[in-house]
């Protein structure tokens, strides 16, 4: 559990961080350190340098806007879980943040670090996709916005370009979403995470959202399942039917000694039904 030697830089602001990212060879950004440092200790990662952006003040904080929340990338899970604004504007985000890992992880880990790491077993990516979050990337040429739909490219791979830093996350207001996860008993990571929402009028679903994480390399929107419910009455049998369609969205499920792809897919179906049932109750 001893990392190889590396340089350590701690920029004071985004501009300085961008400059270091451009000039320091083999550098990686360090946020809360809860994914990268363990990998380094096991020597699965040996970056020549770390640029610690975890203490840049302008990268941390939660601002509420009319249409949602603007969250600095270096805001910790604990801060998100404890934020009144988050609780009011997007309660599912507060709950999700409060159930990540354990206390130590929540006090150090950051939303931006988790999203940029793009671990399939992480919770935020799934939820961000459901909520239609937008990510601000800051690079040498300035800022650009990337939608959650476009952000997650593959296992641990995102649309961020070399030299870019994920600086901020915009999360739309949403009161009827639900996030459920099946935790790995050892790591507490999501073996399967399901994020779902229903908006309904007069008992009829006018919008359904279903995203499944943990099962595939990146979280996936279950479009067939969403379609199956949209326009239908929100009831048990329609929810069941929609959930059964989740498997259609799952191609090449992940598999390990704890849970096979087949079981993950099955769990995704069951958990979707449960998540939709809870979401339906909120939508009423």
Partner 1 sequence: MRSPYAHAKIRRIDIKKAASMPGVLGVFTGRQMKDAGFGPIPCAWVVPGSNTKTPPYPPIAIDTVRYVGNAVAIVVARDRYQVRDAADAVDVDYEPLGVTVDAFRATQKGAPQLHGDVPDNICFHWHVTGGDVEAAFKSADVVVKERIINQRLIPNAMEPRASLAQYSSAAGEVTLWTTTQNPHITRFLLSLDTGIPEHKIRVIAPEVGGGFGSKIPHYPEESMVIFASKALNRPVKWTESRSENYRATIHGRDHIQEVEIAAKKDGTIVGLRAKVWANLGAYLSTASTGIPTILHGLMLSGAYKIPNIHEDVYGVFTNTTPVDAYRGAGRPEATFLVERMVDLLARKLKMDPAELRRKNLIPPFKDGYTVATGLVYDTGNYEAALDKALKMADYKGLRKQQADMRAKGQYLGIGFCTYAEICGLGPSQVAGAVGFGGGLWESAIVRFHPSGKVNVMVGISPHGQGEETTFAQIVASELGVAVEDVEVLHGDTDQTPMGWGTYGSRSTAVGSGALMGAIQKIKDKSKIVTAHLLEASPDDIEYADGKFFVRGSPGKFKTIQDVALMANVAWNYPKGLEPGLEASAFFDPPNFVYPFGAHIAVVQVDAETGEVTLKRYIAVDDCGRVINPMIVEGQVHGGIAQGVGQALWEGAVYDDDGQLLTGSMMDYALPKAAFFPKFELAMTETPTSVNPLGVKGIGETGTIASTPAVYNAVADALAPLGVERINMPLTPERVWRAIRDAKRS
Q: Which residues bind partner 1 (CB under 8 A)?
A: 1-2, 4-5, 42-43, 182, 184-187, 256-260, 263, 266-267, 270-271
**């990540």: which residue's tokens?**
100
Of 147 and 277, which CB lies nearer to partner 1 in the complex structure? 277
Closest separation in Å from C-beta 37 to partner 1:
13
Find the shortest distance in angstroms from Cβ 36 to partner 1. 15
Separation CA 48–CA 210 (nearest Å): 40
Residue 121 C-beta: closest distance to partner 1, Å? 10
- The nearest distance, CB 5 to partner 1, in angstroms, is 7
The b-or-e profile of 204-230 (16+ CB within 10 A means b, else e) is ebeebbbbbbbbbbbbbbbeebbebbb
Residue closer to partner 1 (CB basis): 136 or 216: 216
DSSP line for 228-279: HHTTSB-SHHHHHHHHHGGGGG--S----SS--HHHHHHHHHHHHHHHHHHH
Nearer to partner 1 among residue 34 and residue 134 (C-beta) = 34
Minimum CB separation from partner 1 for residue 117, in Å? 15
* Of residues 1 and 202, the one with the C-beta less far from partner 1: 1
Q: How far apart are the first and last CA of the chain?
A: 51
Torsion of CA 8, 13, 19, 24, to 10 degrees: 10
Is the Cβ of residue 184 or residue 227 nearer to partner 1 in the bound state?
184
């Amino acid at each position: 559990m001893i990392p190889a030697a590396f340089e350590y830089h701690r920029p004071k602001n985004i501009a300085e961080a961008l400059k270091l990212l451009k000039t320091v060879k083999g550098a990686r950004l360090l946020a809360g350190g809860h994914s990268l440092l363990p990998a380094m200790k096991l020597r699965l990662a040996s970056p020549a340098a770390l640029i610690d952006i975890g203490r840049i003040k302008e990268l941390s904080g939660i601002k509420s806007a009319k249409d949602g929340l603007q969250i600095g990338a270096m805001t910790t899970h604990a801060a998100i879980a404890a934020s009144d604004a988050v609780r009011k504007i997007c309660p599912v985000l507060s709950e999700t943040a409060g159930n990540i890992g354990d206390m130590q992880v929540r006090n150090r880990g950051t939303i931006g670090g988790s999203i940029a790491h793009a671990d399939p077993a992480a919770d935020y990516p799934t939820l961000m996709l459901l909520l239609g979050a937008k990510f601000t990337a800051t690079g040498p040429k300035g800022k650009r916005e990337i939608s959650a739909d476009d952000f997650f490219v593959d296992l641990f791979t995102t649309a961020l370009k070399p030299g870019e830093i994920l600086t901020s996350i915009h999360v739309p207001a949403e009161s009827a979403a639900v996030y459920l996860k099946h935790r790995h008993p050892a790591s507490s990571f999501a073996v399967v995470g399901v994020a779902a929402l229903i908006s309904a009028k007069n008992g009829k679903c006018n919008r359904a959202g279903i995203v499944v994480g943990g099962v595939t390399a990146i979280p996936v929107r279950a479009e067939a399942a969403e379609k199956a419910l949209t326009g239908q009455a929100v009831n048990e049998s329609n929810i069941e039917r929609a959930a059964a369609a989740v498997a259609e969205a799952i191609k090449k499920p992940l598999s390990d000694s704890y849970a096979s792809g087949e079981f993950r897919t099955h769990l995704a179906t069951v958990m979707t039904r449960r998540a939709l049932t809870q979401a339906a109750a909120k939508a009423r």
